[in-house]
Amino acid sequence: MLSMMAIRMDLKIFPFLIALNCCFSLPVTAQDVSDLKLKDYRPVSIYKIPVTNIEKAKFPIVDFHSHDYPATDAALDEWVRNMDEVGIAKTIILSYSVGTSFDSVITKYARYKDRFEIWCGFDFRDCDKPGWEERAVNELVRCFKKGARGVGELGDKGLGEFYSYPGNASGFGLHIDDPRMKALIRKCGELKMPISIHVAEDAWMYEPADEKNDGLMNAATWKVDMSKPGILNHDQLVKTLENAVRDNPATTFIACHLANTCSDLGMIGRLFDLYPNLYADIAARYAELAPIPKFVHAFLEKYASRIVYGTDMGYEKSMYRTTFRILESNDEHFYEHDRFGYHWPLYGLGLSSGTLQKIYNGNSKKILAK
């Protein structure tokens, strides 16, 4: 047993020992957070929680939103191998193109006719000259006979249709509800060619890129310049889509990226309630949906019959598997910094098997012409 004197001595030297320890401890270095830029923020989740690795989708998938990515036959072969490995049964190539540009895309994918479906664009060349509508319809029919089974991706970010090849041909000034588009849209209905259309951008891309912008890093890159004369804003563009869908009930429309209404899904939900000829893809909007899993889960379950799978992010296996994790798992608080440009964590949506089946391939049976 220690004597009282020994205890008193230990108490006297205890502060000295602490000070000595501090002198010889290595200093803790850290970045001054006042100098940390949001673009450099790369948090690593500290939570020890389940991580779900989904190698292959729960059901075979029809990807409704992809593009002509591979530059070589070898790259195309690699894409098909990736599709086989992760469970993509078919990919829709939104080529935007017409004329010889479209013909070359058809030729490229001819070896894999059962795995890829090619969609063409509208021919906006000389759209400001007399007779354009008839010429554009004739080219649409020609592309259909060549193999096109849909149209897309049309694109309007405020000044009119601009996703168009060949060359720099565009339909600037032509919105989807322009009367001059009527003949083309009607012909799509007759030929059972769905129209895939991108209108607007997500809401934060219209807001100032400042400390209040929730999607700041993405908005700083993709912000919309509303100072251009005649440009339509977000809600006006969604309205052009509604007008076209309403006025052309025999034509099927697919709103790319949920019509860029991720911050207010009630907008696209209202359109679903009103117009049975409208669908939407979720391509390249996984990071926008995953931060609000409960709300999005309920939305996708409710409108499962109107949503289709899409990617719009290349063809790497890791990309597909990230989408599966978000759609299928209940994982919480994870990051995909290399894939998405936001600072927020992601959450799995935990969709039911019935909803997954509809989104992955069930709705494709209603949309794609037999």
List the alpha helices (DSSP H) in the chain.
Answer: 4-24, 73-86, 99-108, 132-146, 182-191, 216-222, 234-247, 266-274, 286-289, 293-302, 317-328, 353-357, 364-367
Mean pLDDT throughout 182-197? 98
Six token digits for residue 56: 């292959």
> Of 262, 151, 137, 158, whose CA–CA distance to 196 is shortest?
151
CATH domain 56-367 topology: TIM Barrel (3.20.20)
- Indicate yes or no: pTM above 0.75: yes
Q: Is the pLDDT of residue 236 over 70?
A: yes
Q: Is the pLDDT of residue 18 over 90?
A: no
CA 228 to chain centre: 26
Question: 3 falls in which pLDDT band (50, 70, 90)?
Answer: very low
Q: Is the pLDDT of residue 367 over 80?
A: yes
Question: 168 falls in which pLDDT band (50, 70, 90)?
Answer: low
Question: 370 falls in which pLDDT band (50, 70, 90)?
Answer: low
Express each pLDDT in 20-43 by its tens digit.
444 444 444 566 888 888 778 888
Q: In the predicted model, what is the mean pLDDT of the chain?
A: 90
DSSP 3-state of 308: strand
Domain range list for the chain = 56-367
Six token digits for residue 342: 């936001």
Mean pLDDT throughout 237-262? 98
Q: What is the pLDDT of residue 2?
A: 39
Measured distance CA(336)–CA(319) in Å, rounded: 10
Q: Which of 15-24, 211-220, 234-243, 293-302 has the lowest mean pLDDT?
A: 15-24
Provide the percentage of residues in the chain whose pLDDT is more than 70: 90
Q: Which of 168-172, 178-182, 274-278, 287-291 has the lowest mean pLDDT?
A: 168-172
